[in-house]
A and B are shown apart, each in its own frame.
Chain A
């Protein structure tokens, strides 16, 4: 994980490896906390199917440093690098993933494409791996549309777009042979769009985050509704007799 002199590059390696370890430890489960970097970089060695193999230039810029302003975070810590064409593709996918529903905004209106652009333009190694796979995915979408419809992805009908996305939107393990790489990359992009959405003010309200407000006096703890639900859970799991009491 670390050889001799820690440098940004080596520490990033550390992080990647610890994420791998972390992924192993969670035993296929999900976790609280933020681990927003891919631990499964998409390689360009797919045997089946088409998958863009061109060289994607890495971002070679300094990050925000080890003493950035925490009170006023930089509005733009590094230049965003997606082209208009790429951004249009990300926008289209964002809209398909999380469209506006009634009074609830969609991923587009909370600005998910811009968050993705910031992410894939960041100089850090985790984001650079995502950059590599997501940029290839965007190229793949156009290639796939060209193969089937002789037009770019954004030029084909909505139904045709959906048909293409359906081949990669249900997970790597459900993808047909040759579609694993775009499926994996799509999953990563989907995670980023979801994260951007639920980080937003309306998104965090929608998922049910009610914290980050000052409470005067003692912490009130679970509501009656939450306590009643817990009682049901304990009963369902056969744990009612072991319910916590302050006396232990």
Chain B
């Protein structure tokens, strides 16, 4: 008997990025398959291929042994495939009941919506999570009034309300609390018993171990392993996801902890809390390159923003021994703290304006009124030379630069202000390897000159190669700190997934 769903040799490319090269999986009725992989391994793309959001370039989908093509999410839904999206598909202005039953409202013979039936069915669905939801959450509560976890549950209920043959849970547990996750797992058990197949995508290794029957591992767009969970340990999976690689493009000599200990503490943070952070404490020393790792959205960005005064926080931040509390980025800038945003095009650069203007945007007020253009031009030229910027001239538009050189302009404009602490928010996302290498050399030189760098990156190799030390964040906290010999890719992946580290050879 053929499996309920088989995906064979699927490939998908987004522009220059090959998201999937050769991905395959099989899932049977009544079983839970864990789809796992590191950041950017292609998990989400694969789930979108299955639920019809994206069309694959190669490969085929077999549903019950028959080849199928979905040209819309709707087509997949009609075939019994229902997805709990990461990006929520609820209409905030409408109520819980209205959202769950949208397009499938129970009708009376007159064509009017049978609101009593709709309400009752919604209550039945809500009762699945009874006890983990607040008591005043009714079918008539507008979704806009729900908390993130409640919205996620409504999303799950909406997906299950169609009685699917295959349910895809894409990071569905990310915003749920532990009781809600347990309830979801009990329900998954029931649905399995009724013959529903489930594809479970999660970063939490503990959950995967608890709920999955089988696993399928993706690495760089390729399926590198599959099997029964009973026959695999967490460490096996981690090794499949992130085998130890040999350095790569990154070459930087780490500062040993002995040398670091002699350096001055530039930034000290105690019990930092924001809406996301739940008590973060750390120290950074002069000339140190501190990496921040972990799964996406665990509070890394918030940490950088809080230091920069871009989000309200409580706790204590000490800069050069003096307590500070920035409430606006301008104050941070005046104290020599600079933040380079990750979204180069959106936040960092005015692409149609000249390189000169872009470099000077944060510093114009240092050049008086009227502007001392000659001095400004001289300073900008010096920075361009220091960055080894390859350009036609300072007056050429930024859009004429290559991606790597444009990225240098983003950093260069902060260097003009001589920052002592440089905060980097995933700076090499979508940057080619040659540019990355050049960028790494720049960071290395800056550290040697005494600048302190705090780097958040979603690229694990980059973190390992560049950082003197890496803190791993999980759920708004620092879950572990890696330095020296323990700073390896496997340990980083394990720490990110919440697997106990240490027994790697």
Are A and B bound to each other?
no
